[in-house]
Structure 1
């Protein structure tokens, strides 16, 4: 398994990605000043977005994988994102899913499906782990 998003594992039988791009920004609004450069104030971390680009070949993976991801996006819920090495990224929402079907069989089934998925963080990993641990401790007491 390369990564898991909620209950969806990215792997050869489902969908594999060839590229993972992560973008993080920080917020620095400006205040105009007379006769001087604007003053900037750091107000915190901004958006954290992960973009996955990959392919599904029906001989190895299932076209239903895209349907499963679309269904997850339809819920509007955030899901945990965890790498295959165990790194917890945090809670992410599925913000965008693009699909391109190419090289078709006679019946119209694509031989290759390229996809791009954009995930946006809604809760940091430390907060996710801390709140989960608190709930578990509460259950144990």
Structure 2
């Protein structure tokens, strides 16, 4: 496993992640003073965006179900737990955007090569227990 977001595992196949990009920072408020540079006061952590991108080859390895689950996550508005393959827990993230590009379409209109980009934003709190139960139930639906 490379990463896991909620119930979706990203691995070498079928749903592969080739790149991860993450920003971590702090927010500061600037205060106006007379006759000098504006001092800054720490006001907390900055937003923490994270981006995962990769490629699927559904004709060879499958993976369309994983994309469908990611679409459902994006529409639900519920934060999902993100874990890296070495066990590092990144925490809860909202799936803000899922971008797909399908190329080399087959006779059913499905791309033989599908590139995707997932834009995530760190959530200040975990998903509700009802949302987590709904996610688990969707595995069996």
Partner of 2:90: 89
Partner of 1:118: 119
Partner of 2:62: 61
Q: How does 1:98-109 map to 2 (within 5 A)?
A: 98-109=99-110
Q: 1:107/1:7 Cα in 2 relative to 1: closer, same or farther (>3 Å)? A: closer
TM-score (norm 1): 0.82
Q: 1:44/1:100 Cα in 2 relative to 1: closer, same or farther (>3 Å)? A: same
Listed as ranges, the gaps of 5+ residues in structure 2 are: 127-141
Work out the CA distance in 2 between the residues paired with 1:86 and 1:117: 20
Q: What do you get for the CA RMSD once the two structures are aligned?
A: 1.6
Work out the CA distance in 1 between the residues paired with 2:14 and 2:94: 19
Q: How does 1:64-75 map to 2 (within 5 A)?
A: 64-75=65-76
Cα displacement string for residues 66-115 of structure 1 (whole angstroms, at most 9, x for unaligned residues): 11101011111111111111111111110111111111223322111100
Q: Which has the larger radius of gyration?
A: 1
Report the more deviating stretch, 5-14 or 71-80.
Answer: 5-14
Listed as ranges, the gaps of 5+ residues in structure 1 are: 129-141
| Structure 1 runs of 4+ with >4 Å offset | none
Name the count of aligned residue pairs.
Answer: 125
More strand by share: 1
Work out the CA distance in 2 between the residues paired with 1:109 and 1:49: 30
8 A contact 2:48–2:121 mirrored in 1: yes
8 A contact 2:53–2:117 mirrored in 1: yes
